[in-house]
Amino acid sequence: MTTVLPNTLRNGPDGRGRFGEFGGRFVAETLMPLILELEAAYEAAKADPSFQAELDYYLKHYVGRPSALWHAERLSRELGGAKIYFKRDELNHTGAHKINNCLGQILLAKRMGKTRIIAETGAGQHGVATATVCALFGLPCTVYMGAVDVERQKPNVFRMKLLGAEVVPVSSGAGTLKDAMNDAMRDWVANVQDTFYIIGTAAGPHPYPAMVRDFQCVIGEEAKAQMLEAEGRLPDVAVAAIGGGSNAIGLFHPFLDDTSVRLIGVEAAGHGLDSNEHAASLSRGRPGVLHGNRTYLLQDDDGQILEAHSISAGLDYPGIGPEHSWLHDIGRVEYVAATDKEALAAFQLCTRTEGIIPALEPSHALAHVTKIAPKMSKDEIILMNLCGRGDKDIFSVAKHLGVEL
């Protein structure tokens, strides 16, 4: 039996864009009027059935939704415990969940009459998804990407360029996702009239965390219905990897009020949580303000932001979406971490047992599944978000395995 809390956990954020004490709108005054305009436009779109209908059309015919729910039988047998299901968002057009959000935002940009799109990207999946929808709708696209990530995600850089996007390598800071986001914001401040900034994760100033979550909730809503159809009940555990937190919140949110479902977010532990080289903002960070929102951050004693580290460029971010910070503090979602090594092992296990090459990001979620599944009984169910495919990662995986391509 699932009990629905009388007081739903699903109606955040409040009028100030806050989830508890997290979230908000910490941007320079130049951007504030734009953020307010965006919020009003999004609220109007949400209330307009034709907007959702248009989005549904593209999700079905362009992205290929609903994505399958796959019973990973061999993997389940190999781990010898719980029954494991994959929500296969890696089957989406462009190979990850990122496109769900990009379509929502570009349809909104069109409604607002914006004629130029910018985005930040880490792994390049969000950049590719943004470049893709820009090609689809004929809008010019500029993608900011850390110089280090440009190097380790070359296939995606080439993809973006093929799709007609301009890719700007960002060499400030450590040259990763955080720095790309800084430069995207700087571009936005300088081009306020015509430019729409498509943020790729459930973070940033309000209304982004709520808006990105709403666009990603299709994952959890589909999975819930598919689970009921396949098993006649909800899963016992739902697991997702956390970079900024968009695929995870998309999976978790529709289950927040179903208290029987344990929700587990997996951060990147990099070389280990005690190594200072990780991206585990909830496990090892503390609350602060970056990129427009108050949330858990990796920072030093002076409040300077620390560089994150992960084998996965998509998880290499020192912050996390504010709704996760709140869900962490109220204890509704458990947040754990998986190391580079554990993710690499899970990557190979999935490939061998299921014939699915996962992205390194969901490999972190899978790494945690391999830890808990053996301790669970055979009639218990784990639902994992397989939010991206690993084609983009084969070069860096080869390098880590010492294989010359």
Ligand X SMILES: Cc1ncc(COP(=O)(O)O)c(C=O)c1O
Interaction site with ligand X (CB under 6 A)? 96, 122-123, 125-126, 201, 241-248, 314-315, 359, 361-362, 387-388
Q: Does 29 bind other proteins (CB under 8 A)?
A: yes
Q: Minimum CB separation from other proteins for residue 188, in Å?
A: 10
Between residues 83 and 324, which has the closer beta carbon with respect to ligand X? 324
Between residues 93 and 206, which has the closer beta carbon with respect to other proteins? 206
Between residues 177 and 241, which has the closer beta carbon with respect to other proteins? 177
Q: Minimum CB separation from other proteins for residue 25, in Å?
A: 5
Q: Does 27 bind other proteins (CB under 8 A)?
A: yes
Between residues 122 and 285, which has the closer beta carbon with respect to ligand X? 122
Is residue 117 within 8 A of residue 198, CB to CB? The reply is yes
Is residue 198 within 8 A of residue 106, CB to CB? The reply is yes
Residue choice 182, 310, 339, 385 for contact with other proteins (CB under 8 A): 182
The helix/strand/coil state of 170 is strand
Q: Minimum CB separation from ligand X for residue 302, in Å?
A: 27
Q: Does 292 bind other proteins (CB under 8 A)?
A: yes
Residue choice 224, 253, 291, 368 for contact with other proteins (CB under 8 A): 291
Between residues 126 and 152, which has the closer beta carbon with respect to ligand X? 126
User: Is 274 exposed, middle or buried, given 0-12, 13-18 or 19+ CB atoms closer than 10 A?
Assistant: exposed
Stated as kind and residue range, the H or E segment containing 106 is helix 98-111
Q: Does 178 bind other proteins (CB under 8 A)?
A: yes
Is residue 318 within 8 A of residue 294, CB to CB? The reply is no
Q: Minimum CB separation from other proteins for residue 186, in Å?
A: 5
Q: Does 65 bind other proteins (CB under 8 A)?
A: no
Is residue 267 within 8 A of residue 283, CB to CB? The reply is yes
Q: Find the part of the chain contacting other proteins (CB under 8 A) among 230-238, 270-278, 291-299, 309-317.
A: 291-299
Identify which of 313, 305, 370, 303 has the alpha carbon closest to the alpha carbon of residue 336.
370
Q: 146 forms bridges with which residues in the sheet?
A: 170
18-19/22-26 β-pairing: antiparallel
Q: Does 40 bind other proteins (CB under 8 A)?
A: no
Helices (H), ranges, 312-375: 322-329, 340-354, 360-372
**Tokens representing residue 378 in the block:** 């055979």
Q: Please provide the DSSP assignment of 49-88 as one string.
A: HHHHHHHHHHIIIII-PSPPEEE-HHHHHHHTSSEEEEE-
264 binds, among ligand X, other proteins, none (CB under 5 to 8 A by kind): none
Residue choice 77, 186, 375, 378 for contact with other proteins (CB under 8 A): 186
Q: Does 32 bind other proteins (CB under 8 A)?
A: yes
- Residues of this chain that interact with other proteins (CB under 8 A) are 16, 24-34, 172-173, 178, 182, 185-186, 189-193, 287-292, 297, 299, 301-305
